[in-house]
Amino acid sequence: MPAAPFRMFALLWLALLALPVHAAAVSVPPQPVTSLAAPRAVVALSVAPPAPAALAVPDDLPLGELRLPPGFTVELYARVPNARQMALGTRTLFVGSMRAGMVHALPLDDTLRPLRVLRLAEGLTLPAGVAFHEGALYVSAVSRLLRYDRVEEWAHARADATQPPGTAASPPRPAIVRADLPSEMHHGAKVLGFGPDGMLYVPVGAPCNICRTGPRHGVILRMRPDGTGEEVFARGVRNTVGFDWHPETRDLWFTDNGRDWLGDDLPPDELNHAPVAGLDFGFPYCHGGTIADPEYGDLGACAAATPPARNLGPHVASLGMIFYTGRQFPAAYRGQVFIAEHGSWNRSTRIGYRVTLVRLEGGRAVSYEPFAEGWLRGGGPWGRPAALLMLPDGSLLVADDYAGAIYRIRYAGR
C-alpha cells in the first residue's frame, strides 16, 4: 500500500484517542483509594496507539486463565487505575498512571503487602515514569520532570490508622527539576531510571511513527539528579519504554518498539545492549539490524548501526524490562531478562499480551520464550502487561494498565 494511505490511517487511529481507556476501579480490601489532589494541570491525552477493542475487563479478574511455568503462582496484588511504571522506595511502592494523569503511592507492611492505595498526584500530563532516588520520588510529565521529597513520610502517615484525623493530609508539593524536555505528545510519555553511575536516564521517543529525528528525539538522555549535565547516551532509538542495567557488567539494556505499517511481520521489536555511550541503534533508517527502511533507508546503512542483542516479536509492544536479581526464583532465572509485552494494536492477528523471558549466556541473548501468558482471549485481551518490578523477597510484580491491576508472581516450588 502506498505511504500516504498508511499515514492517513495512522492519523485516524490517533483521532480515536479522545475515547478514554477505562480500567476497572473496584477496590480490594484493605486498599481503599484516598483522593488527595496535588496542584492540578491540564490533562493532555496520549497520542500513543489506543487500546484495541476488547472484552470488558471483569471486576473479578480471571487469574485462573494465566499460564506460568510449573511451580509459579500469581495473585492480585493491588488495583491501581492505568498502572504503568513502578518504583520501590524503602517501604512504599509508587505507580505512574499514564493516561489517568495520576501517581499513586502504596505504603507496604512488613510482609510487603499494600496497606492502602493513595493518590499522590493527579492532573498531570502522561505521568508514565517514576523513579525513587535518595528519599525522593521523580515523576515524568512529558516536558516536565518533578521531584516529590519526603514522600514516604506522607504515605505512611496516611496509612497509619492510629494517626489523628488530618495528619499529613496533603501530599508534598513537587519541585520542578526540569520543564524543558521535549514536549511532543506522540511517544511523549517518558519512563525513568537511575543508573549505577547515579545519573538519571530519560528516553525520549521519536515524535512520529517514522521520520527524521532531531538531536533530542529518538534518544536516551542522561543527566544529574538535579537535571543538569544533560547528554545523549544512545541514539537511533524509536521508542524505549523499559530499560535496566546488567547486575554484573552494569551495562544498559533496553527494549525498543519497532515502526508500524510495514505489515504484520515486520519489523521486530528489539532488545538492545549499550555497553558504552554514543552508540547508534539505527532508527529511522534501519530496523531489526538488517531491514532498511523503505522511506528513510538512505540516511544510513544497517551495517553502521548497532544491531539488536535480540529481535523480539513484531508489534508485540515490548515495554517494561528488568534483570531478575532475586533468590526466590530457581537459579536458571537469575540474571535473565523479563519483558512486559503490552500487545499489538494494529496487527491482523494479535500477539504479545504476555511476559516473556530472554536468556543470556556469556553476555549474549540466546533465547526468547513466553513466561506468563493468558491475558489474550479469542475475543480480545482482558489485560495488558506494561511494567515489571522485583520486590525485596524476589517475587515479581506485573503492572497491567488495561485491567487497572498489579499482579504478584511467586515461586512456590514443584
The rounded distance, in Å, linking the Cα atoms of 74 and 23 is 20
pLDDT, residue 108, reads 97
**Sign of the torsion angle spanned by Cα atoms 156, 159, 164, 168:** positive
Helices (H), 135-233: 151-159
Q: Does the pLDDT value for residue 285 go beyond 50?
A: yes
Q: Does the pLDDT value for residue 159 go beyond 90?
A: no
Least confident of 51-55, 253-257, 361-365, 409-413: 51-55
Q: Does the pLDDT value for residue 95 go beyond 90?
A: yes
Three cell numbers at 187?
511517544
pLDDT, residue 18, reads 35
Mean pLDDT score, 136-154: 97
Residues in the chain, total: 414
Neighbours of 145 (CB within 10 A): 25
Three cell numbers at 360?
543470556
pLDDT, residue 379, reads 77
> Which residue, among 331, 320, 325, has the nearest Cα to 372 in the 3D structure?
320
> Which residue, among 143, 338, 132, 301, has the nearest Cα to 221 in the 3D structure?
143
Mean pLDDT score, 107-136: 97
Mean pLDDT score, 203-208: 98
Mean pLDDT score, 114-128: 96
**What residue type is assigned to position 310 of the chain?**
R
Which positions ≥6 away from 111 have C-beta within 8 Å?
Answer: none
Mean pLDDT score, 216-230: 98
Least confident of 2-6, 97-101, 279-283: 2-6
- pLDDT bin (cut points 50, 70, 90) of residue 166 is very low
Q: Does the pLDDT value for residue 27 go beyond 80?
A: no
Total-model pTM: 0.86
Q: Does the pLDDT value for residue 131 go beyond 80?
A: yes
Question: Could you report the per-residue pLDDT of 305-348, keeping only the tens digit for each?
Answer: 999 999 999 999 999 999 999 999 999 999 999 999 999 998 99
Mean pLDDT for the chain overall: 87
> Which residue, among 283, 270, 290, has the nearest Cα to 358 in the 3D structure?
270
The rounded distance, in Å, linking the Cα atoms of 83 and 88 is 14
**Peptide bond before 275: cis, by omega within 30 degrees of 0?**
no
pLDDT, residue 6, reads 41
Counting residues of the chain whose pLDDT is more than 70, the rounded percentage is 84
The rounded distance, in Å, linking the Cα atoms of 93 and 116 is 10
